[in-house]
Amino acid sequence: MTAAENHIEVRDLRLSYGLKEVIHGISFGIRRHEILGVIGPAQSGKTSLLRCINRTIDFTPDTHVSGTIEVDGEDVRKVRSVYALRRKIGMVAPLPVGLPLSIYDNVAFAPRSAGLHRRADLDAIVEQCLRQAALWDEVKDRLESLGTKLSGGQQQRLTIARALSHQPEILCLDEFSIAIDPVTTMRIEDVLKELRKHMTIILVTNLTQQARRLADRTMFMWKGEIVELDTTEVIFGENPKDQRTRDYVEGIFG
């Protein structure tokens, strides 16, 4: 696939916090409707990469970004509206951060902010997003209850539903399963397999086997550089190109 056909194209991306450079000139592409797994030890630049893509890095003072990130051929640093960009790129954080609102209003918040107020339309979006997040059956009879009263796993699925309410083209997940139980994790993984039919997914995970289960391709980052990017079968198979990749996925370090 050529660079022009990629959904996201990153070229010579560098990121510094103050004087410390944490991403060192990386380049890669992400295909439309694929799940790209991003693995690597802590402090490898994985979360920072996601924040550069949807420009939440802008909230951190004393940062400097250079290089190019294009989404659908448009440089994210030059978009007319950063708010439109963030609606296009949904983000799910490691820990669920629920709004102090009802379950219904958590999901309806973004559509309302975008100007949608017809109750029937909001009802349809809320139900669709909660179904997509595998949460509807558990909460459909208590939509007016506080979202913060849900269990941890339910709150994380509510976070996913809220991210989906933007109708994003791209979904970034940053260690989404760090605070939830294995059963809920597997349920969300099943959700992601369905969602990839409709969007591009970037999955940052510290669980190498999660990347192995879900990702079409996997990128191994270390110390702000890409060590290796290939099909998941190659990365987790017998012939990764770099010994560091083999050592990491086999648990020798990291």
90-108 pLDDT, tens digit per residue, is: 999 887 777 899 999 999 9
Q: How many domains does the chain have?
A: 1
Per-residue pLDDT, 4: 57
* Residue 105 phi, psi (nearest 5): -70, -25
Answer yes or no: is pLDDT of 197 > 80. Answer: yes
**Between the ranges 50-64, 170-184, 187-201, where is the mean pLDDT highest?**
50-64
Q: How far is CA 158 from the centre of its chain?
A: 15
Per-residue pLDDT, 13: 98
Answer yes or no: is pLDDT of 186 > 70. Answer: yes
Q: Looking at the domain assignment, is residue 254 inside a domain?
A: no
Q: Looking at the domain assignment, is residue 66 inside a domain?
A: yes
Answer yes or no: is pLDDT of 157 > 70. Answer: yes
Share of the chain above pLDDT 90, in %: 77
Q: Looking at the domain assignment, is residue 178 inside a domain?
A: yes
E strand or H helix at 217, and its extent? Answer: strand 217-222
Q: Looking at the domain assignment, is residue 103 inside a domain?
A: yes
Task: Read off the pLDDT of residues 40-67 as tens digits, 9 standing for 90 and up.
Answer: 999 999 999 999 999 999 999 999 999 9
Answer yes or no: is pLDDT of 168 > 90. Answer: yes
Reduce the DSSP state of residue 117 to 3 states and report it: coil
Q: Looking at the domain assignment, is residue 195 inside a domain?
A: yes
Answer yes or no: is pLDDT of 121 > 90. Answer: yes
**Residue pair 215/203 in contact by the 8 Å Cβ criterion:** yes
Quote the mean pLDDT of the chain: 93
Q: Looking at the domain assignment, is residue 42 inside a domain?
A: yes
Q: Looking at the domain assignment, is residue 129 inside a domain?
A: yes
Per-residue pLDDT, 2: 54
Give the least confident one: 92-101, 135-144, 155-164: 92-101
The packing angle between helices 119-132 and 182-195, to 10°, is 120
Q: Is 42 exposed, middle or buried (0-12, 13-18, 19+ CB in 10 A)?
A: exposed
CATH number at residue 171: 3.40.50.300
Closest to 129 (Cα-Cα) out of 98, 159, 89, 85: 159
Helices of type H across 89-135: 103-113, 119-132
- Find the domain containing 25 and state its range: 3-249
Q: pTM (2 decimals)?
A: 0.91
Across 149-163, average pLDDT: 91
Q: Looking at the domain assignment, is residue 46 inside a domain?
A: yes
